Amino acid sequence: MISKNQLKFVNSLKQKKNREEHNLFIAEGTKIISELLQSRIKIKQLFATKDFFSQYEEQGEMEIFIKNSIDCFEIKTNELERLSSQVTASNALAVCEIPEYNLNKFELKDKLTLVLDTINDPGNLGTIIRIADWFGIETILCSNNTVDAYNPKVIQATMGSIARISLHYINLIDFLEELKADKINLPVYGALMEGDPIYNTQLTKSGLIIIGNESKGISTDLRPFITHDLNIPSFSHFKSSEGKPESLNAAIACSIICSEFRRRS
């Protein structure tokens, strides 16, 4: 059974200011929690149904909770519904520490890194984190006004990939200026409507890929840092019907760009 104070506290973590104050976030579902249990992210508390814990008992894996010093609470489904951010509550919810990652700009020289400029939609950010994980990208740099990566909707959309990606919220302009000052000459690719077709552009194994805001694209202040403009050409002219789509969803565009980079590497 969950106490009123526990219920109030866990629900408070749905708000960014409380997540920041306590340095905690919530994650829901067997899939995501199993990923977190194998990661460097620390689970502090686990609220789950008897069925959830029974699976670990049957597999002889209950010691993982003891080993990681996790406070476990067996609760009923209707209690989980009062904690859940989802329409249909899952059978487990974890309270986790927000991880701290060191950003070493010199280590980016040999890697492909995503740079997110004012991504506002939680689903888009969560999907982009999942895309980065799929394509072996370890680091994502986010503008300070990008949606909080530890928002429950973002966590859910990552499907566990949040456990394997190093996320940093920074002033992107200051960071890019630092790279220039330190003579770290990384190519900077920007996804732009007026860019060169990605399929005809020479791509490198390392560099920064900037994905802009869902409606406004890449900020004007960031554009001078871009060394290569990229565009995903539309092939809507192959259709017999009139009209064409305006643009691609930010996460879909990110996926196509990452795929093309990895295909060439």
Tell me which of 43, 68, 97 is where a domain ends: 97
Indicate whether 251 and 130 sit together in one domain. yes
Q: pLDDT tens-digit profile of 105-127?
A: 999 999 999 999 999 999 999 99
Indicate whether 131 and 239 sit together in one domain. yes
Q: pLDDT tens-digit profile of 41-54?
A: 999 999 999 999 99
Tell me which of 97, 131, 164 is where a domain ends: 97
Measured over the CA atoms of residue 236, residue 237, residue 239 and residue 240, the dihedral's sign is positive
What pLDDT score was predicted for residue 89?
Answer: 84
Averaged pLDDT, 74-96: 92
Indicate whether 244 and 144 sit together in one domain. yes
| pLDDT tops 80 at residue 96 | yes
Indicate whether 112 and 188 sit together in one domain. yes
Indicate whether 127 and 247 sit together in one domain. yes
Q: What is the CATH number of the domain that holds 155?
A: 3.40.1280.10
Q: pLDDT tens-digit profile of 239-259?
A: 666 666 677 899 999 999 999
Q: What residue type is assigned to position 38 of the chain? A: Q
Indicate whether 115 and 216 sit together in one domain. yes
Indicate whether 92 and 118 sit together in one domain. no
List strand residue ranges (DSSP E) for the chain, in order: 24-28, 43-48, 71-74, 92-97, 112-116, 139-143, 166-170, 188-197, 207-211, 228-231
Indicate whether 120 and 249 sit together in one domain. yes
How far CA 159 is from CA of 31, 35, 167, 203, in Å, comes to 7, 9, 16, 29
Count how many Cα atoms sit within 13 Å of the Cα of residue 136 in the half-sphere of its side chain: 10
Indicate whether 13 and 41 sit together in one domain. yes
Q: How high is the mean pLDDT of the chain?
A: 94
Count structural domains, the chain.
Answer: 2
What pLDDT score was predicted for residue 239?
Answer: 66
Q: pLDDT tens-digit profile of 167-222?
A: 999 999 999 999 999 999 999 999 998 899 999 999 999 999 999 999 999 999 99
What pLDDT score was predicted for residue 235?
Answer: 87
C-alpha to C-alpha distance for 227 and 245, rounded to whole angstroms: 27
C-alpha to C-alpha distance for 44 and 3, rounded to whole angstroms: 17
Enclosing domain of residue 55: 4-97
DSSP code of residue 120: -
